Structure 1
Amino acid sequence: MTDHEWSSYEPTLIRIKHSCFAMHALYRKRYLLSRERVIFYDVPIIVLSAMTSVFIAGAEEWLNASLVKILTCITSLIVGILGALKKFFKIDENRESCLETYKDMFRLFCELSMMLDQPPEARGVDAQKYSTELANRYSEIMDRAIVLEDARTMENPIYNDKANMPSKMRKRFSRSFKELPPAPESPPPPHDRNVEESYA
């Protein structure tokens, strides 16, 4: 495989590589944050469930029976609410999804790094086929991934193609998804810079 054949695909592969690094870092951060947040659900559920078991087993020996029933109902209600909220917000599912995306992105980043570090003649694969497969794998990972609230996702290097939106406009647009800026049919002339100001 010659340098010329790889030169057409390397810019795209480099963008995917940089995107994998950036997104693996964001999903790792989200996974660790989710792992911390789950404590606020699991610990109360464990404690209250244990208390409920104690009340049912023998609390009537030192507490009034009606009081035991009230306490048991309250703790069971709280446990049920916490469990329902945990399921509603998909705490466990989102945490595992972030972990899977983080690992997949890191694996893809390592593979691309090793491939691009080799000289073109030593890569031993067809440039077009390899680029297509990598792009498909990247798309599949992103399709399975959850949507992050982090504003830095709008700075994903995958957006930096040859016809990318100006960074200044993209940052302003990312704050509000009310409308898309018009897609120019041809490169805008220099005096059209004022168009960006209209999206402030």
Structure 2
Amino acid sequence: MLDSLRTHVGALWQLRLDRRTMLRQAYRRVELEAARASADLAATSDALTGLGNRRMFDRRINAVTAGGSLLLIDVDHFKEINDRYSHGVGDRVLGEIAAVLRSHCRHDEVAIRFGGDEFALFLATGEKEARQVAERIRRVIQARDWNTIMPGLTVTLSMGLAACRPGEPGRNLYDRADAHLYVAKRSGRNQLAAA
């Protein structure tokens, strides 16, 4: 009977050790998955603004479907802001714009710092509602008291908007939004251009 009891205790002890090993492995998998998610987020985030970066843009542009819109945004005369006030002031301007863009995104929409002073906003709406969102953003930026950052500072945005057509490749959508952005710039800046 004693041998049977020893065998049973040994089996229970081994079972306990096996469970501890399985728990450690499960915790390690969770840690690795969290680290992977964190690395993926860092790889697709802009360090200055916290928005998505060009890598995220490249992922999203090919996932846009009909019913969605792409808004491209350019800070008017941004080089002059950097040259006149400093790159630090320019960075603060970009951060403020990023906050405004983020606040105008719904859960399924993405704001991106495309590069330099260029931003993109993937909107889950058609052209009419996307125009309204764009105009709200433009007005918020124009109306903001930029003197709190630097006396005499003014900031405006030029924007190009394109709504995705059925079956349209992302590259074509981008080209149309970009063409509209340049229309806004050539037409005096501080405005939205869309077709």
Q: Normalising TM by the smaller chain, what interval? A: under 0.3
Which structure would you say has the larger RCO, counting Cα contacts within 8 Å and 6 or more residues apart?
1
TM-score (normalizing by structure 1): 0.25
- Greater strand fraction, Structure 1 or Structure 2: 2
TM-score (normalizing by structure 2): 0.25
- Greater helix fraction, Structure 1 or Structure 2: 1
